[in-house]
Amino acid sequence: MFSSYETTKQTVTIILDGKPQRVPAGVSVAAAVLGTGKTHTRTSLISGEPRAPFCMMGVCYECLLEIDSRKDQQSCQVQVKEGMIINRQIRTNGEEK
Ligand code: FES
């Protein structure tokens, strides 16, 4: 699950926020998203502040993403797959955008 970008040779294509991205095969969705340069995966429902993966081991729940139409998935616990559709959960004033 924690393969290094430098040592991973194979890639898969994911659709992140509507745009295709080539990412290393075998990494977690959270690692793949961070590797594309995104600084956060969601915003807080209460404060609207940006949130990003922290523990990378399924404890903090800061990495929640919509994965293949399923909201609030712990992206650090899911391995990327070819064609996976991933949307960051960015909300403003309680509404997703
Ligand atoms: S990064 Fe902490 S639960 Fe996923």
Q: How far apart are CA 23 and CA 44, in angstroms?
A: 26
Backbone angles phi, psi at 81, to 5 degrees: -135, 150
In angstroms, what is the span from residue 73 Cα to ligand 1's centroid? 10
In angstroms, what is the span from residue 12 Cα to ligand 1's centroid? 22
Nearest CA to ligand 1 atom 3: 58
Assigned CATH class of 11-96: alpha beta
Q: For ligand 1, what atom is nearest to the CA of residue 60?
A: 2
For the entire predicted model, the pTM comes to 0.86
Classify 8 as helix, strand or coil: coil
Tens digit of each residue's pLDDT, the chain (97 residues): 555 555 558 999 999 999 999 999 999 999 999 999 999 999 998 888 999 999 999 999 999 999 999 999 999 999 999 999 999 998 766 555 5
Beta bridge partners of 13: 22
Contacts of 97 (CB under 8 A, 6+ apart): 90, 91
Q: How far apart are CA 5 and CA 43, in angstroms?
A: 26
